[in-house]
C-alpha cells in the first residue's frame, strides 16, 4: 500500500495505548492519523462515535465482515472489534502514518496482509499495576475487568515470541515510555515531516 509505513500499537488493555497514541496525534498533527476501528461494545463516557470508534450493532458489524469491508476482526472480552479497509485508506490518503490500536489476534491477522506496519507492544510494569490502572480508569464491569486481566497475562507471554514485535515498551513512567515511543518512530516521523516541507 502507498504512503508511510503504518504503526500497530498492541498490548494489554489498560497498558496505556490510548494515552500514548493520543499524545502522538496531538504533538504531531498531520503526521499521524488514527485508524478508527469498529466495535460492538458500548461507548465509554467521553468517547465520540466516528473518532474513538465506529460504534455499531453486531448485525451491522457482521454485514460489513461478510461484505469483505474489514482487513481484520476479532472478538475481545465478548465484543467484536475490527479494522475496516476504509479506516486505513482514509489515513493513507492523507499521506499520514496510520496508527492501529489492535489486540493480539489483530496483530496475528495483520501479519497475513500486505500492510507491513511497525509492530510495537505497550506493556504495564506488572499485572498488579495493570489491574490498579484498569480499576482506577473505572470503565469496566468486574466481569470485563477479569477477562481483560486474563487476556493481558496471555498476551504478555505471547509478546515474547521472537520477531512478533519490533519493540516492547514498558509504560511505567509515562514520560519515559512516550520518549521511547517517539524514538522508535523517529525515522518515519522525519520522512513524513520532510515530505510535508517539500
Considering the complex, state which of residue 83 and residue 96 has its C-beta at the smaller distance from ligand 5GP.
83
**Bridge partners, residue 167, by sequence:** 120
133 binds, among ligand 5GP, ligand ADP, none (CB under 5 to 8 A by kind): ligand ADP
User: End-to-end distance of the chain based on CA atoms, in angstroms?
Assistant: 22
CA-to-CA dists, residue 33 to 22, 28, 95, 177, angstroms: 10, 9, 9, 20
- What whole-number distance in Å separates Cα of residue 107 and Cα of residue 173? 25
Distance of CA 21 to the CA centre of its chain: 8
Any contact of residue 144 with ligand ADP (CB under 6 A)?
no
Q: Is 41 a catalytic residue?
A: no
Considering the complex, state which of residue 6 and residue 16 has its C-beta at the smaller distance from ligand ADP.
16
**What value does the CA radius of gyration of the chain take, rounded to a whole number of Å?**
16
Q: Are 91 and 25 in contact (CB under 8 A)?
A: no
Least distance CB 182 / ligand 5GP (angstroms):
20
Q: Is 63 a catalytic residue?
A: no
Considering the complex, state which of residue 3 and residue 12 has its C-beta at the smaller distance from ligand ADP.
12
Q: Could you tell me the strand order of the sheet in which 79-84 lies?
A: 54-55, 38-39, 79-84, 70-76
Task: Show the CA angle centred on residue 75, arms to residues 58 and 11, nearest 5°.
Answer: 135
Least distance CB 70 / ligand 5GP (angstroms):
8
Q: Are 81 and 10 in contact (CB under 8 A)?
A: no
169 binds, among ligand 5GP, ligand ADP, none (CB under 5 to 8 A by kind): none
Which residues in this chain contact ligand 5GP in the complex, by CB under 6 A? 13, 37, 41, 72, 74, 76, 81-83, 101-103, 105-106
Q: Is 23 a catalytic residue?
A: no
Q: Are 118 and 191 in contact (CB under 8 A)?
A: no
Any contact of residue 16 with ligand ADP (CB under 6 A)?
yes
- How many residues in the shown chain lie near ligand ADP by CB under 6 A? 13
Stretch 79-138 residues interacting with ligand ADP (CB under 6 A): 133, 136-137
Least distance CB 1 / ligand ADP (angstroms):
25
Which residues lie near ligand ADP (CB under 6 A)?
13-19, 133, 136-137, 171, 174, 177
Residues identified as active-site? 44, 137, 148
Amino acid at each position: 500500500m502507498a504512503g508511510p509505513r503504518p504503526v500497530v500499537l498492541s498490548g494489554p488493555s489498560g497498558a496505556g495505548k490510548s494515552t500514548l497514541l493520543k499524545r502522538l496525534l496531538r504533538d504531531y498533527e498531520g503526521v499521524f492519523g488514527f485508524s478508527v476501528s469498529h466495535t460492538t461494545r458500548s461507548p465509554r463516557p467521553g468517547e465520540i462515535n466516528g473518532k474513538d470508534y465506529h460504534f455499531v450493532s453486531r448485525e451491522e458489524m457482521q454485514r460489513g465482515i461478510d461484505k469483505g469491508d474489514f482487513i481484520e476482526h476479532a472478538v475481545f472480552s465478548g465484543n467484536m472489534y475490527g479494522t475496516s479497509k476504509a479506516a486505513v485508506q482514509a489515513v493513507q490518503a492523507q499521506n499520514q502514518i496510520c496508527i492501529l490500536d489492535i489486540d493480539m489476534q489483530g496483530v496475528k491477522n495483520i501479519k497475513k496482509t500486505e500492510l507491513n506496519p511497525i509492530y510495537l507492544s505497550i506493556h504495564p510494569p506488572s499485572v498488579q499495576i495493570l489491574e490498579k490502572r484498569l480499576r482506577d480508569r473505572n470503565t469496566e464491569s468486574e466481569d470485563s475487568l477479569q477477562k481483560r486481566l486474563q487476556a493481558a497475562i496471555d498476551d504478555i507471554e505471547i509478546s515474547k515470541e521472537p520477531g512478533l514485535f519490533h519493540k516492547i515498551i514498558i509504560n511505567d513512567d509515562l514520560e519515559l515510555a512516550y520518549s521511547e515511543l517517539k524514538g522508535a518512530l523517529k525515522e518515519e516521523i522525519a520522512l513524513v515531516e520532510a515530505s510535508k516541507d517539500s
